[in-house]
Structure 1
Amino acid sequence: MRDIPYLLAVQANELNTEGILSFFLSRIAPILLAILGVIFIARANKGEVSRVLTSSTIAIVGIAFIAGATTLVLFGGGLVDLLFTSEDGE
């Protein structure tokens, strides 16, 4: 019974990063955004509008950084594929 995780790790030679990313984007991110929204609404109801605006701006800038990093990774991957693939398709 103790060897099952080891055997599964040995059988899987590579990590399914696309599956992990899709799980995070479909399950975890909406929950985190909902929690953030509840916090913003609670602060706005207390009259802390300036803090809500500051937090919202920080969240939007963070999302922009994540989107920019994703774009750079995709662009870099395409550039590497373009530069380091041979012409005969190997």
Structure 2
Amino acid sequence: MNTSGIIGFFLSKIAPILLAILGLIFIARANKGEVSRVLTSSTIAIIGIAFIAGAVVLVAVGNGLVDVLFSQED
């Protein structure tokens, strides 16, 4: 399975669209005077992005460990 291709596609195509939608929602809420909800939602979104970045790092580290542990030298 081409995990680097899937991650690259997600980061280049889907993530910016989702972030733009979140930004529009936050701006709309802030204009309505719901600043505390916007701050809470922003914090949750940032934590979510950190978890996604952590998952990407774990995939990269896991691939590296598998390559090191199961590399066959001729």
Q: Do both proteins adopt the same fold according to a TM-score greater than 0.5, normalized to the shorter chain?
A: yes
- Deviation of the 1:23 alpha carbon: 3.3
Q: Sequence identity, in percent?
A: 79
Higher relative contact order (CA 8 A, sep 6+): 2
Deviation of 1:55 after TM superposition, in Å, equals 0.3
Unaligned runs of 5+ in 1: 1-14
Residue 31 of structure 1 aligns with an amino acid whose one-letter code is I
Corresponding position: 1:69 with 2:55 = yes
Q: Distance in 2 between matches of 1:84 and 1:35?
A: 43
Which residue of structure 2 lines up, in the alignment, with residue 58 of structure 1? Answer: 44
- Show the counterpart of 1:4: none
Give me the whole-angstrom Cα distance separating, in 2, the residues matched to 1:64 and 1:22: 17
Q: Where do 5+ consecutive residues of structure 2 fail to align? A: none
Cα gap change, 1:23 to 1:75, in 2 (>3 Å): closer
1:42 and 2:23 are equivalent in the alignment: no
What's the counterpart of residue 32 of structure 1? Answer: 18
Higher CA-based Rg: 1
Give the structure-2-normalised TM-score. Answer: 0.85
Residues 75 and 22 (structure 1), Cα distance of their counterparts in 2 relative to 1, 3 Å cut? closer
In structure 2, the CA distance between the partners of 1:80 and 1:23, relative to structure 1 (3 Å rule), is: closer
Between the aligned partners of 1:37 and 1:60, the Cα distance in structure 2 is 12
Question: What is the RMSD computed on CA atoms of the aligned residues?
Answer: 1.7
For residues 69 and 86 of structure 1, what CA distance do their matches in structure 2 show?
27
